[in-house]
Amino acid sequence: MERYRTHEGIIVGRKLLPGGDVILKTVGPGGAMDFVARKAQRPSGRSGRLMLFHHVRFQAYHKPERELATLTQAEMVGRLEQLSEPTRYPAAACLGELAYLLASPETAEEVWILLGSGLRGVAGSDNPLIPLVWSGWRMLKAAGLAPSPHSRCGHQADTLELSGSLACSSCSSGMRLPIGTKAASALARILTQPGSRAIEALQQGGVSEALLEGLLRYSAYQVEPLRSEKSLRGSLSAKG
């Protein structure tokens, strides 16, 4: 196996280590990957090309007995500077963390595309919650974890069952979250229709907020709780 390999990805996590090293988490078309950038925080290091949400192409050294590959070269392909804004960063962080959890080798190609689309939407939208909600649910679908878009009981859905179904409040069971009929209908459109039609449904009053709550609760149940959730909720409270 080649020890020097070329990768591509979006940086979705950074951890500074003593001595100037940085551990980076990336999501790319080949999956989620962690690697270490040696001395990246030194003035002569690569810190400027290795910031959160930068799209990078890099070479890494993979030594069999080491868990982490070591970055040897890095080239920045692109960046979205708007994502550092306080009103956008929490949504971008949430989307990046979810993508990292879902980007297995089998699902990575589609998750990678959805992450890029979602981050561009968060960077440019007047309401970053809308692209976050759309991309988050679509990534769950790409990973095979999304709820059925059709009501389990055959009645008009208004409740999200965290086990993986939409149902009416009278028939729902187990861990569930009332989201209302408009949000349930919008979720079905997200999971089955082109993005433009789903975005229209998310622009109705209260729908994106209900489906964000659903996304956070559903992801915690199906995958694991997102550490970025606290920051996201704090930004929403401050905005409100």
Query: pLDDT digits over 48-60, tens only?
Result: 568 899 999 999 9
Asked if the model's pLDDT at residue 44 lies above 50, the reply is no
Instruction: Write out pLDDT tens, residues 66-125.
Output: 778 899 888 999 999 899 999 999 999 999 999 999 999 999 999 999 999 999 999 999
The rounded mean pLDDT for the chain is: 91
184: number of CA atoms within 13 Å, CB side? Answer: 23
- Which residues touch 110 (CB under 8 Å, ≥6 apart)? 139, 142
What letter would DSSP give residue 193?
S
Per-residue pLDDT tens for 87-102?
Answer: 999 999 999 999 999 9
> How does pLDDT run across 23-39, given as a tens digit for each residue?
999 999 999 999 998 87
Which pLDDT score is estimated for 43? 47
Which CATH number, 3.40.50.10490, 2.170.130.10, 3.40.50.2300, 2.40.50.140, labels domain 4-79? Answer: 2.40.50.140
Q: How confident is the model at residue 46 (pLDDT cuts 50, 70, 90)?
A: low
Which pTM was predicted?
Answer: 0.92
Pick left, alpha or beta for residue 148 (phi over 0 → left; psi -120 to 50 → alpha; otherwise beta): beta
**Which pLDDT belongs to residue 47?**
56
* DSSP structural state of residue 144: T
Burial of 205 (0-12, 13-18, 19+ CB in 10 A): exposed
| Percent of the chain with pLDDT strictly greater than 90 | 72
Question: The domain 82-239 belongs to what CATH superfamily?
Answer: Recombination protein O, C-terminal domain (1.20.1440.120)
The full set of domain ranges for the chain reads 4-79, 82-239
Q: Give the residue, 194 or 181, on which the prediction is more confident.
A: 181
